[in-house]
Amino acid sequence: MKAFVYRGPGKKALEDRPKPELRAPTDAVVKILKTTICGTDLHILKGDVPTCAPGRILGHEGVGIIDQVGAAVTSFHAGDRVIVSCISSCGKCDYCRRGMYSHCVEGGWILGNKIDGTQAEYVRIPFADTSLYHVPEGADEEALVMLSDILPTGFECGVLNGKVAPGSTIAIVGAGPIGLAALLTAQFYSPAEIIMIDLDDNRLQLSTRFGATRTINNHDGKAVEKIMQMTGGRGVDAAIEAVGVPASFITCEDIVAPGGIIANIGVHGVKADLHLERLWDRNIAITTRLVDTVTTPMLLKTVQSHRIDPQKLITHRFKLDQILDAYDTFGRAANTNALKVLIES
Ligand SMILES: [Zn+2]
Ligand SMILES: [Zn+2]
């Protein structure tokens, strides 16, 4: 089968690989119909993710059809259409029993990281019963690809951890796919103001269409000043970090209001300074999280009812044998205006 393979920092290839086989009775093999590329995949390609070894098939998002299941899988059968969760969970360990699937002792974020992923014709999914979701009859499968990772990530790490509430003022730093997923799902809670901050005017225009009440292009480095003007010097109740670089985290430290929350979503590769000398007396909280995907069933219902329409995040479509072009398009998002690139079998 064809598969997209990480070959070490800066190196990637579309290769022929053997079709995966069942290894445990709890496994399923899924034929991938649609997958996509995550910002995290770009981090892996740069060499920022040491758990991902050269030779790994990347990808942790997708929708497919069950090809075969192990003897212990009871909820899924060959031919079922499924959403693949970016998080694999055994459902039995202490972390899973607490709903913290991201830290499952044998699972967590392993797909396209510690085990081969979804950017291929087939993928082996461990703990299939607790790591896959049925595609509802008649669903828009393109939209459902956004349920593998970005919607639960934006919602759980940004909106839930940021305790977005009716009437609150929130800022989302970073209007990429994850920031936009936070923007879409924050609106479940009717915040009074959603301020989006980015460096890309195209992404900010989209943010307005997707429900942002104000946008700031921080090309002049004056985002903090502008937010303070907009909020009467108070700052924001939730500062959601959706980039993963020190500057964006420090922006969040500078704009959080007394009693507010900094909710980090971004994948950070280097240290960011924590200015406790300014924050120690401001009654704030800082949260971090790897998505648990505990809200995926709920989010699936909101997509089904068109309460949110995540397929509007898809900007480009490719076939699997064009995946190198897809990476190129996604990697040059500032020039190509790419958000999510869909890759079809
Ligand atoms: Zn991802
Ligand atoms: Zn577990």
DSSP 8-state code for residue 20: P
Between the CA of 125 and the centroid of ligand 2 the distance, in Å, is: 14
Ligand 1 centroid distance, CA of 193 (Å): 27
- The DSSP-derived string for 287-331 is E------TTHHHHHHHHHTTSS-GGGGEEEEEEGGGHHHHHHHHH
Residue-level pLDDT at 94? 98
Nearest to 210 by CA among 219, 222, 198, 220: 198
pLDDT of residue 195: 98
Separation of 3 CA from ligand 1 center, angstroms?
Answer: 18
User: What ligand is nearest to the CA atom of residue 93?
Assistant: 2
Q: Cα separation of 150 and 89, whole Å?
A: 18
- Rounded distance from Cα 183 to ligand 1 centre (Å): 17
Domain boundaries, the chain: 2-149+292-344, 154-287
pLDDT of residue 295: 98
Q: How far apart are CA 310 and CA 306, in angstroms?
A: 9
Give the number of the ligand closest to the Cα of residue 145: 1
- Identify the three-state secondary structure at position 242: coil
φ and ψ at residue 167, rounded to 5 degrees:
85, -5
pLDDT at site 126: 98
Q: What pTM was computed for the model?
A: 0.96
Q: Looking at residue 269, what is its pLDDT?
A: 84
**Minimum-distance ligand to the CA of 42?**
1
Among the bound ligands, name the one nearest to the CA of residue 38. Answer: 1
Neighbour count for residue 34 (Cβ, 10 Å)? 21
Q: How far apart are the CA of 199 and the centre of ligand 1, in A?
A: 22
Structure confidence at residue 286 (pLDDT): 98
Are the CB atoms for 297 and 131 separated by under 8 Å? no
Considering only the top CATH level, what class is 154-287? Answer: alpha beta
| Closest ligand to residue 49's CA | 1
CATH architecture for residues 2-149+292-344: Alpha-Beta Complex (3.90)
Ligand nearest to the CA of 147: 1
CB-based neighbours (< 5 A) of ligand 1, an ion: 38, 40, 149
SS3 214: strand
Is residue 17 within 8 Å of residue 1, measured between CB atoms? Answer: yes
pLDDT in tens, the chain (345 residues): 999 999 999 999 999 999 999 999 999 999 999 999 999 999 999 998 999 999 999 999 999 999 999 999 999 999 999 999 999 999 999 999 999 999 999 999 999 999 999 999 999 999 999 999 999 999 999 999 999 999 999 999 999 999 999 999 999 999 999 999 999 999 999 999 999 999 999 999 999 999 999 999 999 999 999 999 999 999 999 999 999 999 999 999 999 999 999 999 998 888 999 999 999 999 999 999 999 999 999 999 999 999 999 999 999 999 999 999 999 999 999 999 999 999 999
Task: State which H helix or E strand residue 82 sits in.
Answer: strand 81-84
How many of the other CB atoms lie within 10 Å of CB of 179? 28
